[in-house]
Structure 1
Amino acid sequence: MTAGGIACLLWGRRLAAALLPLLLTACHAAPTIEARPAMWLVADDDTQIYLLGTMHALPAGTDWDGGKVADAINKADELMLELSPRELAKAGAIFQTLAPRAAPLAMNARLPAKALAGYRAIEDGEPLGGDGLDDWAVLVLMGQRVAERADLSPADGVEAGLTAAFRGAGKPIRGLESAKAQLMLFETLDPAAQRALLVRAAENSDHAKEEIRAMAAAWSRGDVGALTTIVNEDIDEVPAARKAIITDRNRRWSLWVEQRLGQPGTVLMAVGAGHLVGKDGVPAMLAAEGYEVVRVQ
């Protein structure tokens, strides 16, 4: 298994875009796509923090770094990602350590008939090894397989492009979380919530490729309303997962923004797009605390 990036906060039908930037392999080239994703700005007298919603994996040829995003990249003194490059490099090994079950459990003992059929369709003759893995880990591998088939590649994702740009400019790149902490969000998720997410993902697998492409398209045109619907539709049905994977993390990241405003400088904070939309997205949380949050793209 290689480090790279799961398509983050979608796929459950839609969870993969919320998961984490791990574990995808490169995909085939695609025609050039112009993308102008949503971005916000929070500022005071001597600090500017740009909030850019990302897709961890995208179709090859996606042109996302023009417009106001180009200005933010040029102005920023540092880049803040979910995982720093150093932490991202650890993620595959940590996944392999955490993912195995204490004792194997056959997938046909976990999934009802419709979900089992969906799971087998995703395998399509190439077994995922789910019997030996925790439910959350099976969901991760399913998301990986679907993203690959949708021709999404982490090499063309926003984090990869930003990392190259900031490294090239000699600017620091930091992370909001460690790889282990991010994976432990899933490892420690209530077993019933894990199973509910897995069943929903498998039952709706026949639409997964189209839906992950729809999310990428909504992100590309900066359609916050569509993103909110896509991201929230299924995870709202599993409140424990929503709290752990989205709401609690957004609260921690909002606090980071508030604290960072106490230091001068310009920061580009780039996290999965699903974390920046909706009533418990980072911009909404900051606005609720009295900060002026301006959408700049």
Structure 2
Amino acid sequence: MPTYQELHSRALSISSKIETIKDQYADGKAAGIYNLLIGDSNQRTKYYKDFLIGMLKKNNCKNILDAACGTGIDSIMLIDEGFKVVSVDASDKMLKYALKARWDMRQNSKYDQWVIEEANWETLPQDIETFLPDTQFDAVICLGNSFAHLLDEYGDQRMQKLCLSNFAKCLKPGGLLFIDHRNYDAIVNSGTTPGHTFYFNSKHPVDINTSVLVVRGEPVLVILDYCVYPSDDGELKEAREFSLRYYPHKLSTFTSMLDEAFENRARHHIYGDFQPLDKVPVPAFYIHVMQKAKN
């Protein structure tokens, strides 16, 4: 377990390098290992896929903005299900994999209209305007604990609030926002992170070491050190390691920020691991579904 001084030094180093949304995949290392962690894109875990696709179809959503597309795994799942998808990410290293996936699918007409662009949450409506003018979406998704990558540079979550407001602006009246975060309340209290999630379907063993930085009694940073052991037929090969930093969102505070971003006029439902909260005593993830006011 890293010492406080080591954590504090790491936190200061991170903060000094933040420019709007920090690209934690900039060196290409984590982006490459990410696919090992995610697993087979054709076998997304049942609760996740059924929940998302079912809710999108139930609400007649057709045009989807994947606002944290990463390597494109969710976008591919949505396109295969018949949705029209625009995929954006702040990391060009992650987008490289999405672009390659689109090229590999070029013989499939479903992928002809797949738009993949680099965009920043802090300027999201303006960025989208540059390549799709006057466009709003039936749904915006920001899943896989992606939003927690945005660190709190100023100590008051002003940038998180701005980005949530931008998600709302990208939606048509009545549109849906799907956004999630790990159960940081439980992580901070226990000092551990579940290794298996509904997002990952890796066939490889995964270890996660958890570090929590607390400043003046408040958790301000969670560092997850991932270790993935690639294996064939059960034979372990050399471990692949990478670290990611997250802002530890409290459920109550994140819920309030979302309501505020939608001017306290949206329908707000919270799920635990894609199930009703009363069915999951201690969920690994909280999933928020916001429905923008229709008028």
TM-score with structure 2 length normalisation? Answer: 0.27
Structure with larger RCO (C-alpha < 8 A, sep 6+): 1
Name whichever structure is richer in helix by fraction: 1
Name whichever structure is richer in strand by fraction: 2
TM-score with structure 1 length normalisation? Answer: 0.26
